[in-house]
């Protein structure tokens, strides 16, 4: 039976806290780019509202979608950034020679992401609500499962991205940053899945965020939405976390077998 | 984990480290070839050999960051392969190629690693080590701006945090000036003498090895070629000094095979 030691999980979070609290260059990206995104899309929706037929509002559909999608991206980056700190400081040998288990290490990365993504969400909500009048309260209590599904899927992406960099080396971090952008056309962030050709729609349905955005658009349009589909999205997100964790464990085992952990910067021991 | 064999826990094991038939292959290359040895309590064992002999590969396997192709490693009787966390909680290391993150201060690094090793009364332990290794004035200094000697002392403080039963030191005095190196050696010897643990030490400085180690193992092409007291071993093989013996091991290992 695997048990998690809270002290070891806390150590990973504490390391991240030490790094973030004293570093302007780490604090600003937590909210700067998502804030820019919200401002940009805030003005776009304002302009669209002014030229569209009266009665409609692009604020809850487009700006709400941007905000939720950026939240997912921040969650993913929260995990990968905490992992990259060990990559950048060449700290793998020190960390993985301690008694910490992979489950404890990954749990620490996830908790670090909870803190950083919450800050990003708070800043986005402040701007979207205060400046552009977005009210996520319009989604009611469904906002909780919306955020939960996106959070879980963001964690899964973060763990997968970290595994990718552990396997391929530090230079592979450039594969990780664009992951949300690559997935967004399939997830139907700004348009219904029905807009997509069949093969893209099939991919989209396999992505948990698509169920969130379909439900969100239904609520804004005053239509009924499928709670079962949203629950399915949540189930998929949990499944992806399990899959991502399995991949990370496999990659770590490979790294221990081949000596990649000990000579990580070489990138080519296997 | 429940299927893991239970190991001796009732009392302290006779050896802090028991290695048996340890082997590591990278494809067709054999880096470590059936190595067996022990480290006893309060014993400092030198692991010597030319570059590429398999010293660091052996240490990486002892640290659990490299999986052996064959063989067993027991740290205080705990099988590393079966109970990794338990075994590593009794171990620590310092190596010249594994500096602590330079973007954290000395005390931050010690706190983070103290938590990872599950050190009790961590604040007291950190204070004691800062005093012991003369690091108090660097408490709030980022490790990256410290000199080599200071960084070595910080790495040593990390290595001693959990009062390890097995301390692995991979060239701990490399890149240090002679005065600092002597100071570091004295501190390590004092720590080894004070506790109940043992030390496995690699170095290319034969003067240092003679001064510090109770016993040495000469590794060549992944195998233990010679073993003995560093002060008497050269004479037993017709050499005047340990350095001469080292050079023979490096250049003519076949001349010593079966010695």
Q: Within an 8 Å CB–CB cutoff, is residue B67 touching chain A? A: yes
Q: How many Å lie between the alpha carbon of A28 and the closest alpha carbon of chain B?
A: 18
> Is the confidence at residue A158, as pLDDT, over 90?
yes
Number of domains in chain B: 2
Query: Are B147 and B256 within one domain?
Result: no
Q: Cβ A18–B108 below 8 Å, yes or no? A: yes
Write the residue in A14, A99, A257 that is nearest to B112 by C-beta: A14
Q: What is the pLDDT of residues A161-182, one digit of tens each?
A: 999 999 998 889 889 999 999 9
Q: What's the confidence (pLDDT) of residue B7?
A: 40
Query: Are B153 and B171 within one domain?
Result: no
Q: Cβ B116–A98 below 8 Å, yes or no? A: yes
The pLDDT of A254-270, averaged and rounded, is 73
Query: Are B241 and B203 within one domain?
Result: yes
Q: Within an 8 Å CB–CB cutoff, is residue B201 touching chain A? A: no
Q: Which residues of B touch A5 (CB under 8 A)?
A: 118
Q: How many Å lie between the alpha carbon of A2 and the closest alpha carbon of chain B?
A: 7
Q: How many Å lie between the alpha carbon of A33 and the closest alpha carbon of chain B?
A: 24
Write the residue in A8, A15, A97 that is nearest to B65 by C-beta: A97
Q: What is the pLDDT of residues A116-137, one digit of tens each?
A: 999 888 988 898 888 888 877 7
3-state secondary structure chain A: CCCCCHHHHHHHHHHHHHHHHCCHHHHHHHHHHHHHHHHHHHHHHHHHHHHCCCCCCHHHHHHHHHHHHHHHHHHHHHHHHHHHHHHHCCCHHHHHCCCCCHHHHHHHHHHHHHHHHHHHHHHHHHHHHHCCCCCHHHHHHHHHHHHHHHHHHHHHHHHHHHHHHHHHCHHHHHHHCCHHHHHHHHHCCCCCHHHCCHHHHHHHHCCHHHHHHHHHHHHHCCCCCCHHHHHHHHHHHHHHHHHHHHHHHHHHHHHHHHCCCCCHHHCCCC
Q: Within an 8 Å CB–CB cutoff, is residue B147 touching chain A? A: no
Q: What's the confidence (pLDDT) of residue A270?
A: 42
Q: Within an 8 Å CB–CB cutoff, is residue B100 touching chain A? A: yes
Q: Where does the pLDDT of residue B9 fall: very low under 50, low under 70, confident under 90, or very high at 90 and above?
A: very low
Write the residue in B63, B99, B100 that is nearest to A97 by C-beta: B63
Write the residue in B65, B113, B115 that is nearest to A10 by C-beta: B115
Query: Are B116 and B140 within one domain?
Result: yes
Query: Are B180 and B77 within one domain?
Result: yes
Q: Where does the pLDDT of residue B1 fall: very low under 50, low under 70, confident under 90, or very high at 90 and above?
A: very low
Query: Are B74 and B177 within one domain?
Result: yes
Contacts of A227 (CB under 8 A, 6+ apart): none
Q: Which residues of A touch B99 (CB under 8 A)?
A: 90
Q: Which residue of A lies nearest to B106 if distances are taken between CA atoms? A: A18
Q: Within an 8 Å CB–CB cutoff, is residue B215 touching chain A? A: no
Comparing A41-45, A262-266, B37-41, B195-199, the range with the smallest average pLDDT is: A262-266
Query: Are B67 and B147 within one domain?
Result: no
Query: Are B40 and B109 within one domain?
Result: no
Q: What is the pLDDT of residues B100-148, one digit of tens each?
A: 999 999 999 999 999 999 999 999 999 999 998 889 999 999 999 999 8
Q: How many Å lie between the alpha carbon of A42 and the closest alpha carbon of chain B?
A: 38
- Between B191 and A105, the more confident residue is A105
Mutate to test the interface with A, among B52, B87, B101, B123 (most CBs of A within 10 A): B101
Q: Within an 8 Å CB–CB cutoff, is residue B58 touching chain A? A: no
Query: Are B118 and B199 within one domain?
Result: no
Q: Within an 8 Å CB–CB cutoff, is residue B141 touching chain A? A: no
Q: What is the pLDDT of residues B24-56, one digit of tens each?
A: 999 899 999 999 999 999 999 999 999 889 999
Domain that holds residue B257: 1-90+166-259
Query: Are B79 and B103 within one domain?
Result: no
- Between B227 and A261, the more confident residue is B227
Write the residue in B1, B57, B64 that is nearest to A1 by C-beta: B1
Q: How many CB pairs under 8 A join A and B?
A: 91
Per the CB < 8 A criterion, the answer to whether A227 and A203 are in contact is: no
Q: Within an 8 Å CB–CB cutoff, is residue A206 touching chain B? A: no
Domain harbouring B47, CATH code: 3.40.50.300
Q: What is the pLDDT of residues A39-94, one digit of tens each?
A: 998 899 888 888 877 766 777 788 889 999 999 999 999 999 999 999 999 999 99
Query: Are B103 and B79 within one domain?
Result: no
The pLDDT of B48-76, averaged and rounded, is 94
> Is the confidence at residue B179, as pLDDT, over 60?
yes
Q: Cβ B64–A256 below 8 Å, yes or no? A: yes
Query: Are B78 and B175 within one domain?
Result: yes
* B201 conformational bin, left if phi > 0, alpha if psi -120 to 50, beta if neither: beta
Mean pLDDT of the residues in chain A: 89
Q: Which residue of B lies nearest to A12 if distances are taken between CA atoms? A: B112
Q: What's the confidence (pLDDT) of residue A249?
A: 96
Q: Where does the pLDDT of residue A225 fall: very low under 50, low under 70, confident under 90, or very high at 90 and above?
A: confident
Q: Cβ B112–A94 below 8 Å, yes or no? A: no
Q: Within an 8 Å CB–CB cutoff, is residue A262 touching chain B? A: yes
Q: Which residue, of B132, B163, B194, is where some domain finishes?
A: B163
Q: Which residues of A touch B117 (CB under 8 A)?
A: 98-99
Q: Which residue, of B123, B140, B163, is where some domain finishes?
A: B163
Mean pLDDT of the residues in chain B: 89
Q: What's the confidence (pLDDT) of residue B258?
A: 56
Q: What is the pLDDT of residues A231-256, one digit of tens each?
A: 999 999 999 999 999 999 999 999 99
Q: Which residue, of B114, B146, B163, is where some domain finishes?
A: B163
């Amino acid at each position: 039976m695997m048990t998690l030691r809270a002290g070891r999980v806390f150590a990973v979070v504490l390391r991240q806290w030490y790094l973030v609290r004293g570093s302007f260059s780490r604090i600003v990206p937590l909210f700067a780019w998502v804030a820019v995104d919200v401002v940009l899309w805030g003005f776009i929706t304002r302009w669209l509202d002014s030229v569209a037929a009266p009665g409609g509002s692009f604020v809850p559909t487009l700006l709400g979608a941007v905000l939720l999608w950026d939240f997912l991206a921040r969650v993913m980056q929260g995990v990968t950034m905490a992992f990259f700190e060990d990559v950048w400081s060449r700290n793998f040998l020190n960390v993985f020679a301690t008694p910490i288990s992979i489950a404890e290490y990954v749990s620490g990365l996830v908790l670090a992401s909870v803190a950083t993504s919450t800050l990003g969400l708070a800043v986005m909500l402040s701007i979207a609500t205060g400046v552009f009048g977005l009210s996520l309260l319009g989604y009611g209590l469904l906002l909780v499962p919306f955020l939960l599904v996106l959070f879980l899927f963001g964690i899964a992406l973060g763990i997968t991205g970290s595994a990718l960099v552990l396997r391929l080396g530090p230079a592979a971090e450039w594969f990780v940053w664009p992951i949300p952008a690559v997935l967004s056309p399939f997830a139907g962030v700004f348009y219904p899945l029905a807009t997509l050709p069949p093969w893209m729609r099939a991919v989209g349905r396999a992505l948990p965020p698509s169920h969130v955005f379909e439900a969100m658009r239904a609520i804004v349009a005053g239509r009924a939405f499928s709670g079962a589909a949203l629950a399915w999205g949540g189930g998929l997100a949990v499944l992806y976390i399990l899959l991502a964790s399995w991949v990370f464990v496999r990659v770590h085992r490979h790294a221990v077998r081949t000596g990649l952990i000990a000579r990580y910067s070489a990138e080519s021991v296997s | 984990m429940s299927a893991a064999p239970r190991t001796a826990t009732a009392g302290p094991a006779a050896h802090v480290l028991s290695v048996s038939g340890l082997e590591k292959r990278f494809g067709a290359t054999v880096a470590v070839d059936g190595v067996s040895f022990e480290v006893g309590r309060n014993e400092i064992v030198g692991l010597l050999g030319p570059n590429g002999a398999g010293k660091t590969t052996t240490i990486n396997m002892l640290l659990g960051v490299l999986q052996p192709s064959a063989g067993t490693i027991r740290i205080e009787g705990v099988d590393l392969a079966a109970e990794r966390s338990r075994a590593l909680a009794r171990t620590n290391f310092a190596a010249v190629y594994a500096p602590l993150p330079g973007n954290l201060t000395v005390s931050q690094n010690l706190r983070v690693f103290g938590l990872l090793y599950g050190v009790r009364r961590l604040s007291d332990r950190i204070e004691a080590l800062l005093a012991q290794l003369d690091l108090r004035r660097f408490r709030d200094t980022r490790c990256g701006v410290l000199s080599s000697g200071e960084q070595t002392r910080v790495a040593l403080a990390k290595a001693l945090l959990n009062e390890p039963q097995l301390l692995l030191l991979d060239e701990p005095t490399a890149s240090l000036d002679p005065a600092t190196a002597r100071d570091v050696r004295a501190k390590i010897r004092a720590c080894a003498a004070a506790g109940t643990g043992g030390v496995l030490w690699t170095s290319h400085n034969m003067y240092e090895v003679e001064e510090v180690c109770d016993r040495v193992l000469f590794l060549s092409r992944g195998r233990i070629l010679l073993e003995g007291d560093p002060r008497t071993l050269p004479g037993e093989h017709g050499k005047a000094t340990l350095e001469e013996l080292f050079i023979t091991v490096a250049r003519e290992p076949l001349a010593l095979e079966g010695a």
